[in-house]
A and B are shown apart, each in its own frame.
Chain A
Amino acid sequence: MPDLPIPAIADDLLTPTGDGVRLRASRDRESGRMIFPPRPEADARFDAVLLPAEGTLWSWTVQRFRPKSPPYAGSDAFEPYAVGYVELDGALIVESRLTGVDFDALQIGMAMRIVPLPFTLADGDVRTSFAFTPAKGAQS
């Protein structure tokens, strides 16, 4: 498994793949229910799984003011960003930043795929987070 070129924002969040990243999640062995963020690996009631890379936009908004710190750890320079829930077939509906799309073009039902997102912390360090972006060539 390749390492991320930039460290992830959390240890148990992302798994690098050939063409990007996938989100780690847990599946309840008994009920089959998927859980994100994942449970600790030591918890024997769950299997570690990766969430699908593609899905459809379930809802969205735009964060137009800088969130308070803490908990927000981004830089003081603020640009509005889009946020959404993406429905991943057979898994979960996951909350994520949205990237590479004009706010005006956001539409419920559009096809999306996960990409790594460089996230600059207040002290200038950069970490790898995740976002969803319109899926190229997908039929929406």
Chain B
Amino acid sequence: MSEDVFIIGAGIHPFGRTPGLSGLQQGVFAVRQALGATGLEWRDIQFAFGGSDSAGNADTMVSELGLTGIPFINVANGCATGGSAMFGAYSSIKSGEFDLGMAVGFDKHPRGSFSPLPADWGLPDWYGETGLMLTTQFFAMKIQRYMAQYGITPHTLGAVAEKAFANGVLADHAWRREAVDIDTILDSQMVSDPLTKFMFCSPGEGAVALVLASGKKARELGLPATRLRAVAMRTRPPGSFEVFSPALDLERGGSPTTVASKAAYDMAGVGPEDIDIAQLQDTETGAEIMHMAENGFCADGDQTQWIAEGRTRIGGELPVNTDGGCLACGEPIGASGLRQVYENYMQLTGQAGARQAPGDLRLGYSHVYGAPGVSAVAIVER
């Protein structure tokens, strides 16, 4: 019989730009805040999983946190780094081997777009040299085709960004905290057609730490807790359309998101109709729209109506990206997936302040996607 696993505390270093602190130091800040929220000390923690994409080795944090000798495992899994850290922590407790551990993710990226090197992704140099290896191009071409297939218009793309910035105003950890009206979004500089500047998130900085505990430990501590009903991480199936793809198969298939999503629903024994709040990967507005369908919340093409009716706003029937998501928080790769879980934890335990979604929130869903085709989904229950 495997153990139940709970999140019993969370900490965050505000996202954005923090010139005075390294990514690693922001990670330490998040760990200390999470410990502070639980009343636990670092010496109580039995193990940790952590990682960043470009801000160093997570396990070096022990020099600031304390040399307690615990196993601290570094995770490097691209955009799924945070999700994978949580998967590791979750599995460790579920196995019964440990009953109190942490998952931490942090990052600090330079300004501007990511600049990946082809060899790191198993690709020839010419692909990068000739200007084809950009995440922004992939996002643009995926939504461009999706819009043509399902009749989605630029106005719907703009409405998603408008919602993100409106939510960001209410979230004290968000980077962009000013509302932006839809005309400004639609008329802003075109970056990669059909996506304008305000429709893309930016690489940034930030850190998140979560404290995970066994059911027994969680009951003993009596802290606000959400149970992890499912944590699933999957790589891509045949026929998917991924970032950094010089070619695609003619026979089209699903996506790592559809596969991870189904696995998570199966594990939790719930369906999309049971979910009360969702944090979906929104590196740009098209991604949020497509991920609504890939995660089973609506049929392809129904997003136009959903968004026009405000169903994904705070107060709607399925609030999506209640802290403004990547669009308002930016994307520090190692921290981003854990921020989504942090947000669901805060919402489900009623600690989300000005952005608190109304009603009785029972099930929260989070989804992160990254190169070269990985998705991680977590379902938490209050």
With A10-B126, A61-B140 already in contact, the answer to whether A36 and B246 are too (CB < 8 A) is: yes
> How far, in whole Å, are A25 and B124 apart by their CA atoms in the complex?
13
Q: Give residues 119-155 of B contacting A (CB, 8 Å).
A: 123-134, 137, 140-142, 144-145, 148
Most buried by A among B124, B192, B193: B193
Q: Give residues 17-38 of A contacting B (CB, 8 Å).
A: 25, 33-37
Name the residue of chain B whose CB is nearest to the CB of A51.
B247
> How far, in whole Å, are A71 and B134 apart by their CA atoms in the complex?
10
> How far, in whole Å, are A96 and B191 apart by their CA atoms in the complex?
18
A93 pairs with B250, CB closer than 8 A: yes
Which residues of the other chain, A, contact B128 by a CB distance below 8 angstroms? 70-73
> How far, in whole Å, are A69 and B129 apart by their CA atoms in the complex?
8
Q: Does B309 contact A (CB under 8 A)?
A: no
> How far, in whole Å, are A25 and B248 apart by their CA atoms in the complex?
13
Which residues of the other chain, A, contact B112 by a CB distance below 8 angstroms? 68
A74 pairs with B145, CB closer than 8 A: no
B144 pairs with A61, CB closer than 8 A: yes
Q: Does A136 contact B (CB under 8 A)?
A: no
Min Cβ gap B152→A in Å is: 13
With A36-B247, A64-B190, A64-B192 already in contact, the answer to whether A129 and B130 are too (CB < 8 A) is: yes
> How far, in whole Å, are A107 and B250 apart by their CA atoms in the complex?
19
Type the 1/0 row for A66-93, where 1 means its CB is closer than 8 Å to any CB of B: 0111111110000001011101001111
> How far, in whole Å, are A35 and B238 apart by their CA atoms in the complex?
13
With A9-B126, A59-B145, A129-B126 already in contact, the answer to whether A93 and B247 are too (CB < 8 A) is: yes
Most buried by A among B115, B140, B247: B247
- Residue in B123, B129, B145, B248 whose CB lies within 8 Å of A72: B129
Min Cβ gap A74→B in Å is: 6
Which residues of the other chain, A, contact B193 by a CB distance below 8 angstroms? 60-62, 64, 103
Main secondary structure of the interface of A (DSSP, over half): strand
Q: Does A135 contact B (CB under 8 A)?
A: no
Which residues of the other chain, A, contact B246 by a CB distance below 8 angstroms? 36-37, 94-95
Name the residue of chain A whose CB is nearest to the CB of B252.
A93
> How far, in whole Å, are A25 and B129 apart by their CA atoms in the complex?
19
With A9-B126, A37-B124 already in contact, the answer to whether A84 and B190 are too (CB < 8 A) is: no
Which residues of the other chain, A, contact B190 by a CB distance below 8 angstroms? 62, 64
A37 pairs with B134, CB closer than 8 A: no
Which residues of the other chain, A, contact B247 by a CB distance below 8 angstroms? 25, 34-37, 92-95
**Which 6 pairs show the lowest CB-CB distances between chains A and B?**
A71-B128, A61-B140, A73-B129, A68-B115, A59-B145, A36-B247
Q: A37-B246, A59-B142 are in contact. List 12 more A-B contacts (CB 8 A).
A: A34-B247, A61-B137, A61-B194, A64-B191, A70-B115, A70-B117, A71-B125, A71-B128, A83-B132, A85-B248, A93-B248, A95-B246
6 contacts between A and B (CB under 8 A): A65-B113, A71-B115, A71-B128, A74-B129, A93-B248, A93-B250
Residue numbers of B with Cβ under 8 A of A are 112-113, 115-118, 123-134, 137, 140-142, 144-145, 148, 189-194, 245-250
